[in-house]
Structure 1
Amino acid sequence: MTAIKHALQRDIFTPNDERLLSIVNVCKAGKKKKNCFLCATVTTERPVQVKVVKVKKTDKGDFYKRQMAWELRDLTEVDAKDANKENPEFDLHFEKVYRWVASSTAEKNSFISCIWKLNQRYLRKKVEFVNVSPQLLEESVPSGESQSVAGGDEDALDDYQELNTREEQDIESMMEVCEYAISNAEAFAEKLSRELQVLDGANIQSIMASEKQVNILMQLLDQALAEVDNIEGKLLSYEEMLQSVKEQMDQISQSNRLIQISNTNNGKLLDEIQFLVNYMDLSKGHIKALQEGDLSSPKGIEACINASEALSQCMNVALNPGHDKLMAVKQQQQLFSELRDTFARRLTNHLNNVFVHQGHDQSSTLSQHTAELTLPKHSPLHRDLLRYAKLMEWLKNTQREKYDGLSRTYVDYMTRLYEREIKDFFEVAKIKMAGTSKDGKGKFGLHGSSGKLTGSTSSLNKLAVSSSNSRRSQSSSLLDMGNMSASDLDVADRTRFDKIFEQVLSELEPLCLAEQDFISKFFKLQQNPTLAQAENVDDSDGTVHSRPLSEHRQSISEKDMVRMMMNKIFQSIETELNSLIALGDKIDSFNSLYMLVKMSHHVWTAENVDPASYLSTTLGNVLVTVKRNFDKCISGQIRQMEEVKISKKSKVGILPFVTGFEEFAKLAEAIFRNAERRGDLDKAYIKLIRAVFSNVEKVANESQKTPRDVVMMENFHHIFSTLSSLKISCLDAERKDAKQKYTEHLQSYVINSLGQPLEKLNHFFEGVEARVAQGVREEEVSYQLAFNKQELRKVIKEYPGKEVKKGLDNLYRKVDKHLCEEESLLQVVWHSMQDEFIRQYKHFEGLINRCYPGSGITMEFTIQDMLEYFSSIAQSH
């Protein structure tokens, strides 16, 4: 390897001014062994460039050539594969990874060590060495060892030091004195050696001459040591003197520390006393307000509120450890407890009296609202009670039992009050719904000074039945609507019902919202969830109590408490609303449409305000009943359609449920315009129109007087016209279906009817078409005995123009008898018959020309004659 190294240095690197530092014999990993050499080199010129050069033999094998070179600064990682075991493989990471296998592990380690040293010396960016033994990564080789990076060259490189400027000048001046320095180096070196010996002797003589001065210096040092001993003695005496002073100062410091501790303790004691005085002292004014404060005047209420807040602060103050053991603190706490209990009793008794007093005042004003469809307003009561809201909050935080008792008392009182008001209010609403007619008969009167309503719910129902018998209101149906005019429908009654129902809901909505808002503010129930008493329970003796918290398994949020109180107070609203809805449905089943729209709107409004409110929940429950009545109304109309019977002696015409559907759709569109529950109406439309379709076909199939095609044609034409005018988007498919059925049955009726005026001619040409269909050629049909030219002329002669016109006139009369006047389809049918007759005429002519060519046979009448026949017949009738 040494010979190869010298050869490479001589042939490849010396001509490029480079020095070879290390070499390793390698081949590529995983391939056939094509050996080459990796060389670590540095340039001899500055700045030094470090490279890794790949060298391989030429093809002839006699010389080496430089194949590839990489700058060492481009090397990012050296991976030795295994730091503990001998492994000849290693990777060099340049712009890509080069994998090599060295001829021996020693050569690999020597090369990697050289690379590491060059990286440490010349490069700022350090290369990462992976899986390399730490022994290889040494910055320098110890002196005395013969091995180096590459045969000692790198050590020589490390020992080499450049001469500074002064050394260069001295060497140059010395060489100038000795002219033979360059030509005779040995003589120059000998001269330098002699001069060095001379200088060494001069140095020894100089040292010997300075012995006297050294002795003088030693004497001075002895004197200095003596002086130091003297100073140390004086310092020792001073220290003994200061020792007594130190003891005195320690005594003074101990006394000062004791005084400071005493002052600190006194300050802390004063702070504690000041804390107790500031936070546990209630003023005489607050005590008087709690004991004797006027709870009926605004000033007295304000004073009680301030006093209760001050008392709460005193009772809730956070005492330091040990305060509760002080007798004064215990006495003060006992005083606060007595004041709290006393004021809580006074406040509870006063609010109970306020509830009773306000109840009597409110009952006295009920007679003012019974005659009108309005509910009494409780805003004055709420306004008076809200002055105590802060006191209720104090009671809730301090005396929960008394707070719960007050809430139960308020709920019990308001339940009875609202129950009377709501009952009277709904009685007035029922009378207004059922007791008024257009002629003014059947009204209920108000009797008695107290304003009590005469009659009961049963009498109201009897009144509804009796009045409905005279006004068709008991059983509204599509059949009735189809047989009556707009005036008979009594739109005014339905409009009045709609207004009454809307007024009922409009009165209930603000009443419930105001009461819920008051309960939340007065009882402070809009805050965070908390535990509460369980739901009130009525015993058999009528006493109201609450279950203890231990029996209530789940915690109740304050929002749930509001809902429970509202359910108790307004427990009669849902029952009364359902009763009113049943009455409205009994008066007129179509009232369910009005109720569905109004109820849906109010439910939507209530949910926007508060989805979890009592009003939203209650109206939502009632809406289910209204929707059920609406569905029952639609099912009833369908059932009546299925039960309809037609007269066998008269023509059918437009069926009553078809016109009834038209009137129903117009009414529903007017009611449901911009309604939230439009989807319910669309579903009802689908059910009704499908029932109309199926029952029209059923009646058409059962009809004996009127042809089936006429029944289908007229009724589906009417249905198509209705759907086209109303433009109901969900019925677009049914509208197209109705038009298709109308067109199909019109065409069928026209074709079947036209076969009668020219019956023999039609039969003759049907026979001709049958022979052609059987395979007889058209020009050979005339050779058939039953269809020869003589038979054709014979049939044509039976239908001269006069007979054709007579047949068409009879056909017109027959069609006129079949069709009804309401739909006005006579001219449409007649025009369609004209078009069909012309088509048949042209078809017959075509058959004559194809089957009887050259015979000269033609019809007895022309198309122009036919047009004149149809026109004159239509004008004559």
Structure 2
Amino acid sequence: MAKSSADDQELRRACEAAIEGTKQKIVMSIRVAKSHGTWVKTGKLGKGHMAKPRVLAISVKEKVQRTKAFLRVLKYSNGGVLEPAKLYKLKHLSKVEVATNDPSGCTFVLGFDNLRSQSVAPPQWMMRNVDDRNRFLHCVLNICKDVLGRLPKVVGIDVVEMALWAKENTSAISQQPGNLQDGHVMATSAESDVKVTVERELVSQAEEEDMEALLGTYVMGIGEAEAFSERLKRELQALEAANVHAILENEPLIKEVLQGLESATNCVEDMDEWLGIFNVKLRHMREDIESIETRNNKLEMQSVNNKTLIEELEKLLERLRIPSEYAACLTGGSFDESHMHQNIDACEWLANALRILEVPKLDRSYANMRSVREKRAELDKLKNTFVKRASEFLRNYFASLVDFMLSDKSYFSQRGQLKRPDHADLRYKCRTYARLLQHLKSLDKNCLGPLRKAYCSSLNLLLRREAREFANELRAGTKASKNPTVWLDGSAGSNQSANSADTSTVSEAYSKMLTIFIPLLVDESSFFAHFMCFEVPAHADGNKAVTSDDDNDDDLGIMDIDDNDKAGKQSADLGALNESLRDLLDGIQEDFYAVVDWAYKIDPLRCISMHGITEKYISGQKADAAGFVRILLDDLENRISSQFSRFVDEACHQIEKNERNVRQMGVLSYIPRFAILATRMEQYIQGQSRDLVDQAYMKFVTIMFVTLDKISQADPKYADILLLENYAAFQNSLYDLANVVPTLAKFYHQASESYEQACTRFISTIIYYTFERLFQFARRIEDLMYTSTPEEIPFQVGLSKVDLRKVVKSSLSGVDKSISAMYKKLQKNLTSEELLPSLWDKCKKEFLDKYDSFAQLVAKVYPNETIPSVSEMRDLLASM
């Protein structure tokens, strides 16, 4: 037998390469021819239906639970490489049919039940020989049985023939490569394994043994199948005749049995009739019993329901009952301190009674009962009466407390005596009704609005009166001499002794105002938030950074009343609280403003100290229950800043007035006065006021430098002298401060640069004025150096050697006198004698540098001419 393509290892590897990446393994691969035509007599395909070479491959994909099997069709590409063409799942294989029109038996059809178009005939696959066909179909049937648990329909092939072929070709099948694990088809070399697999598929072991015994019985010289078939037919006819004879011999026995069956049938029918009668009687009896049991169950259920209803009604009546003592307390009880315990108990009972008449405390079926609705209306009327009485009492109570304190002058500051506000007694009396307010909120939240307004209106009068009296006495008792505000006025005298007056008592008075009232206002805000039942966070307890002698007496213990409130709960009505605090504290800021304005009039520079004090208090505040206090401090800071800005603007205006005066000489008056002002301002800085002062410095110095430039432009002849003297004075007066104040250091460096520029211009003017012809001649030579060679310059008009000798003779004969004249001119123009030495040194250095440049030009252009050397000129300058 020729070698089958199923054993071709190269073909198998080509198939595996074609399906690489699919995680599938090739079990069998075999070459086939694909066609759709019919066989003609010559045994070849009809025209237009030429067979196409294909490769059929069976592949498996192993998973955890099960194994999947596939039939792959591969075709050859133009380059002769196998590539996948079609893929079929073997679980959809429904039929294997061998074509009857192929006399060789090598053509077969595989039918699948999931093909989209069943009207198109499936392709026919043609093998080279019957062995290849049997080998391929044998593998397909085995996989279907072991992997899928079923066999497709086999048409046109004898199963017995397949079994015999498999037994004869065991060795060829066992060499088939590939494997299926987990109890599936295993390709091994053992003959027994293959035989068991094949025979289990096609013919069972018992059937095979019977067939061998039968065949073994008839091997007695039988040569032809027709004779063997005739013999079998004769024996079958003999067996059938013997069976008929035996049946006819047993006829009497059969009749006797039939008679017995008929008698038994009659007895069964009689018994069935009696059983039917008894069944009817039993059914009637069962219905009577069921009826009795139903009536009994209804009576028992009615009894239980009546008992439960009575219990529920008793509970409901207990809920609806209003104790007389509570009713009397709620409608006409007293609100004196001694009776507050009874009022609190009555409130708690009323709130609980209203709560238990609401769903879900009360069953929804009871909520619409007439008695419940009437009782709820009665309780609502009782609640409204009590809330109205309590609200009216508290409004009058708050007003009476404040009126009592306003009428007693001992509560406020008096002449010669500052009085610290003391609200301990007021808060103690209010605490008596703290729990009452909490219960009023739980009964009717809307009633708190008018009560809060009444409390704020009454207490606002007290706080404003306390602040006004305190501020008035604070100002009256503070002794401080008023400082003039004309700090930088050029028309003022040079004596600034008044500016050194001590005004520290002014800022101390302002600090005392804040120290007394800011903690008081914070405490009042926190007390009001708790007392009036605002749901504020637990940390809204005022300013802890500011020390106060008052005890923290705003702890009402209200957080213990309502267990539903939790510490740290974010307030939902913080906005409403801030609105109420505005009503409580509004107007008190006017007294703080009055202290600020008073301090500004005495000494505007004290705004720096007050600004620092205010910032310390702002940094210690929290934007919580004391929100209005934070706003008050911000307003104070803004007012102090605006007042100081007003002072700065006035001082700047005084500086600008200098430019409208007559010709200015020497150091302007505002330069040394600014140094005195800056020193004083640095003494007043406290805390975080650095920015305020730095902004003032920037505005002052900018105006000073701009004004200086404008004044210098009025007389260009003496502009540089005025600039250098004033910039030098600015540096000298601010040298110490510039070392410690960065803002002044920046302006110090700016003045230094401007001073150097003014010095350079002034010295150049003096030098050119004295030696004009000499350096004018040098400048002409420098200009020609750009366009002519040094040899050509002596032939230019006015630049000959003769002209050089004339210029040197006129400028340098008696040069010592010229230099002395230059010194005298420098001395004459300066008003600040202390600047003369440094300026003269710069003047000599500048002159020597210019003369050095002139000497180099002469040596380059006029090499044979002699002029005084640079060293001679240096010695001459050093001797003067």
Give the TM-score normalised by structure 2.
0.68
Q: Which range moves more in the overlay, 193-202 or 386-395?
A: 193-202
**C-alpha separation between the residues in 1 aligned to 2:744 and 2:141?**
90
Tell me the SS of whatever aligns to 1:609.
coil
2:580 aligned residue (565, 574, 589) = 565
**C-alpha separation between the residues in 2 aligned to 1:481 and 1:190?**
160
Q: Find the counterpart in structure 2 of residue 852 from structure 1.
A: 862
- TM-aligned CA deviation for residue 643 of structure 1: 0.8
**C-alpha separation between the residues in 1 aligned to 2:876 and 2:51?**
115
Tell me the SS of whatever aligns to 2:432.
helix
2:763 aligned residue (734, 747, 750) = 750
Residues 224-271 of structure 1, C-alpha deviation per residue, up to 9 Å, x if partnerless? 434433433443343354356435424532432342343243234224
Residues 691-728 of structure 1, C-alpha deviation per residue, up to 9 Å, x if partnerless? 22211111222358x93223323434555674982566
Q: Find the counterpart in structure 2 of residue 53 from structure 1.
A: 74
2:703 aligned residue (691, 695, 698) = 691
Counterparts in 2 of 1:843 and 1:243: CA distance versus 1, 3 Å: closer
Alpha-carbon contact 1:478-1:664 (below 8 Å) kept = no
Q: Find the counterpart in structure 2 of residue 459 from structure 1.
A: none
Matched, 1:509 2:518: yes
1:422 aligned residue (464, 467, 488) = 467
**C-alpha separation between the residues in 1 aligned to 2:428 and 2:457?**
20
Equivalent residue runs for 1:522-533 within 5 Å? 522-526=531-535
**C-alpha separation between the residues in 1 aligned to 2:748 and 2:121?**
95
Alpha-carbon contact 1:18-1:42 (below 8 Å) kept = yes
Residues 646-667 of structure 1, C-alpha deviation per residue, up to 9 Å, x if partnerless? 88687322x3334444455555
Tell me the SS of whatever aligns to 2:122.
helix
Counterpart residue identity of residue 653, structure 2: R
Q: Find the counterpart in structure 1 of residue 595 from structure 2.
A: 580
Q: Find the counterpart in structure 1 of residue 286 from structure 2.
A: 246
**C-alpha separation between the residues in 2 aligned to 1:735 and 1:766?**
36
2:853 aligned residue (843, 862, 865) = 843
Matched, 1:810 2:810: no
Q: Find the counterpart in structure 2 of residue 629 from structure 1.
A: 643
- TM-aligned CA deviation for residue 308 of structure 1: 0.6
**C-alpha separation between the residues in 2 aligned to 1:583 and 1:591?**
11
Q: Find the counterpart in structure 1 of residue 844 from structure 2.
A: 834
Counterpart residue identity of residue 865, structure 1: D
Equivalent residue runs for 1:301-340 within 5 Å? 301-316=340-355, 317-318=357-358, 330=374, 334=378, 337-338=381-382
Equivalent residue runs for 1:273-422 within 5 Å? 273-283=313-323, 286-287=326-327, 290=330, 295-297=335-337, 300-316=339-355, 317-318=357-358, 330=374, 334=378, 337-338=381-382, 341=385, 344-345=388-389, 348-349=392-393, 352-353=396-397, 355-357=399-401, 359-361=403-405, 364=408, 366-367=410-411, 369-370=413-414, 371=416, 375-398=420-443, 403-422=448-467
Counterparts in 2 of 1:24 and 1:818: CA distance versus 1, 3 Å: farther
Tell me the SS of whatever aligns to 1:239.
helix
Equivalent residue runs for 1:696-775 within 5 Å? 696-702=708-714, 707-717=718-728, 722=734, 725=738, 737-756=750-769, 758=771, 761-762=774-775, 765-766=778-779
**C-alpha separation between the residues in 1 aligned to 2:722 and 2:77?**
109
Counterparts in 2 of 1:807 and 1:217: CA distance versus 1, 3 Å: farther
**C-alpha separation between the residues in 2 aligned to 1:491 and 1:24?**
125
Counterpart residue identity of residue 171, structure 1: M
Residues 26-64 of structure 1, C-alpha deviation per residue, up to 9 Å, x if partnerless? xxxxxxx999847584779xx997331326999xxxxxx
Q: Which range moves more in the overlay, 338-347 or 232-241?
A: 338-347
Tell me the SS of whatever aligns to 1:110.
coil
**C-alpha separation between the residues in 2 aligned to 1:194 and 1:480?**
162
Equivalent residue runs for 1:630-645 within 5 Å? 630-645=644-659
1:231 aligned residue (242, 248, 271) = 271
Alpha-carbon contact 1:778-1:851 (below 8 Å) kept = yes
Counterparts in 2 of 1:273 and 1:726: CA distance versus 1, 3 Å: farther
Please provide the CA RMSD for this pair: 5.2
- TM-aligned CA deviation for residue 760 of structure 1: 5.6
Counterparts in 2 of 1:192 and 1:739: CA distance versus 1, 3 Å: farther
- TM-aligned CA deviation for residue 512 of structure 1: 2.4
**C-alpha separation between the residues in 2 aligned to 1:108 and 1:491?**
120
Residues 195-235 of structure 1, C-alpha deviation per residue, up to 9 Å, x if partnerless? 44444445545555665665565455435434433433443
Alpha-carbon contact 1:478-1:661 (below 8 Å) kept = no
**C-alpha separation between the residues in 2 aligned to 1:518 and 1:633?**
40
**C-alpha separation between the residues in 2 aligned to 1:377 and 1:748?**
72
Tell me the SS of whatever aligns to 1:492.
coil
Tell me the SS of whatever aligns to 1:579.
helix
Tell me the SS of whatever aligns to 1:818.
coil
- TM-aligned CA deviation for residue 420 of structure 1: 1.4
Counterparts in 2 of 1:769 and 1:252: CA distance versus 1, 3 Å: closer
**C-alpha separation between the residues in 2 aligned to 1:820 and 1:209?**
173
Counterpart residue identity of residue 259, structure 1: L
Counterparts in 2 of 1:567 and 1:754: CA distance versus 1, 3 Å: same
Counterpart residue identity of residue 843, structure 1: S
Tell me the SS of whatever aligns to 1:51.
strand
**C-alpha separation between the residues in 2 aligned to 1:224 and 1:716?**
150
Q: Find the counterpart in structure 2 of residue 656 from structure 1.
A: 669
Q: Count the aligned residue pairs.
A: 722
- TM-aligned CA deviation for residue 292 of structure 1: 7.6
Alpha-carbon contact 1:344-1:399 (below 8 Å) kept = no
Counterpart residue identity of residue 695, structure 1: T
Identity of aligned residues (%): 17
- TM-aligned CA deviation for residue 376 of structure 1: 0.5
**C-alpha separation between the residues in 1 aligned to 2:143 and 2:743?**
87
**C-alpha separation between the residues in 2 aligned to 1:196 and 1:670?**
142
Q: Which runs of 5+ in 2 are unaligned?
A: 12-28, 38-47, 60-67, 93-116, 127-138, 157-199, 538-570
Alpha-carbon contact 1:20-1:41 (below 8 Å) kept = yes
Q: Find the counterpart in structure 2 of residue 436 from structure 1.
A: 479
Give the TM-score normalised by structure 1.
0.68
Counterpart residue identity of residue 389, structure 2: R
**C-alpha separation between the residues in 2 aligned to 1:226 and 1:762?**
167
**C-alpha separation between the residues in 2 aligned to 1:696 and 1:329?**
91
**C-alpha separation between the residues in 2 aligned to 1:731 and 1:75?**
92
Counterparts in 2 of 1:867 and 1:176: CA distance versus 1, 3 Å: farther
- TM-aligned CA deviation for residue 411 of structure 1: 2.9
Q: Which range moves more in the overlay, 505-514 or 692-701?
A: 505-514
Counterpart residue identity of residue 268, structure 2: V
Q: Find the counterpart in structure 2 of residue 129 from structure 1.
A: none
Q: Which runs of 5+ in 1 are unaligned?
A: 1-8, 26-32, 59-65, 79-104, 127-138, 145-159, 438-466, 529-555, 871-877
Counterparts in 2 of 1:263 and 1:39: CA distance versus 1, 3 Å: farther
Alpha-carbon contact 1:38-1:54 (below 8 Å) kept = yes
**C-alpha separation between the residues in 2 aligned to 1:113 and 1:481?**
126
